[in-house]
């Protein structure tokens, strides 16, 4: 797959910090509407890769193309977010003193300030969009509840909903099930599968049973490069993957 045929195209991305290569000629291609799982040991370069995609880190070399033609390396973080790349960090960051509904509304508002947003009269289309997002993330019945009173898993879903409200084309999700119950983990897998029917999703995760539940192509990173790619069963059988990651 070339840059023209892909949604996200990384080629030869290299990032060094004080002589340490966090990414070493990393290449990765994600198609439109594809879900991909990224696994690998700590220090493999997973977070740095997401930092490059979102404009937080500038690589020393390589190319990063989005939507077949946009050079991500010429844009700042705000431009990249507006372009349609949403990132969810491991720890959920929601407005705990606001309701679940208000959190989605604030995300939908984009550039309006918090106070302005809360006094803004919602158009019917905006109200319908909030209801749609709440249904997608399974929080319709919690709409009036303060975000502070949600469970850990529900806060994660709310933050995913806040990203969805911004209509991203690509969602980057970092360890979404860390700290979740088994039931929440299973629900999160179903949620990401629903989202992936309409958007591309890249999931960084350590929980192999969760990755297996996603049932998608897996990319294994090691020392800043791609070590293996394929189904979870295929990469799990690779001697090098067992040696550097799964055997630990």
Asked whether residue 7 carries a pLDDT value surpassing 90, the answer given is yes
**pLDDT value for 108:** 84
Give CATH for domain 8-93+153-246.
3.40.50.300
Report, as an integer, the average pLDDT of 109-113.
Answer: 58
**pLDDT value for 73:** 94
Report, as an integer, the average pLDDT of 236-247.
Answer: 85
Condensed to tens digits (0 to 9), the pLDDT of residues 115-146 reads 665 667 788 888 999 999 999 999 999 999 99
Neighbours of 116 (CB within 10 A): 10
Answer whether 0.85 is exceeded by the pTM. Answer: yes
Cα 40 from Cα 240, distance rounded (Å): 12
At residue 43 the predicted structure's pLDDT band, cuts being 50, 70 and 90, is confident
At residue 225 the predicted structure's pLDDT band, cuts being 50, 70 and 90, is very high
Mean pLDDT, the chain, rounded, equals: 90
Least confident span in 92-96, 192-196, 221-225, 230-234: 92-96
**pLDDT value for 114:** 57
Asked whether residue 226 carries a pLDDT value surpassing 80, the answer given is yes
Instruction: Give whole-number Cα distances, 103 to 18, 82, 112, 163, 167, in Å.
Output: 39, 19, 13, 10, 15
Cα 206 from Cα 225, distance rounded (Å): 17
Query: What percentage of the chain has pLDDT greater than the value 70?
Result: 92
Domain boundary assignment for the chain: 8-93+153-246
């Amino acid at each position: 797959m070339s840059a023209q045929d892909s949604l996200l195209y990384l080629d030869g991305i290299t990032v060094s910090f004080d002589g340490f290569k966090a990414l070493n000629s990393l290449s990765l291609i994600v198609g439109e509407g594809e879900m991909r799982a990224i696994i690998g040991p700590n220090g493999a370069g997973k977070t740095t890769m997401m930092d490059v995609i979102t404009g937080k880190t500038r690589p020393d070399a390589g190319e990063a193309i989005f939507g077949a033609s946009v050079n991500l390396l010429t844009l700042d973080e705000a431009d990249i977010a507006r372009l349609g790349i949403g990132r969810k960090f491991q720890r959920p960051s929601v407005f705990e003193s606001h309701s679940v509904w208000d959190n989605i509304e604030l995300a939908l508002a984009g550039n309006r300030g918090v106070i302005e947003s809360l006094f803004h009269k919602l158009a019917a289309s905006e109200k319908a969009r909030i209801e749609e997002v709440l249904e997608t993330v399974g929080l319709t019945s919690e709409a009036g509840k303060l975000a502070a009173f949600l469970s850990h898993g529900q806060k994660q879903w709310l933050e995913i909903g806040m990203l969805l409200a911004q209509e991203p084309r690509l969602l980057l999700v970092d360890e979404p099930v860390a700290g979740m119950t088994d039931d929440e983990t299973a629900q999160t897998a179903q949620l990401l599968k629903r989202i992936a029917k309409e958007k591309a999703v890249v999931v960084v995760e350590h929980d192999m049973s969760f990755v297996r539940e996603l049932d998608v192509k897996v990319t294994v990173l090691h020392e800043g490069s791609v070590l293996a790619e394929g189904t979870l069963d295929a990469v799990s059988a690779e001697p090098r993957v067992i040696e550097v990651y799964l055997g630990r």
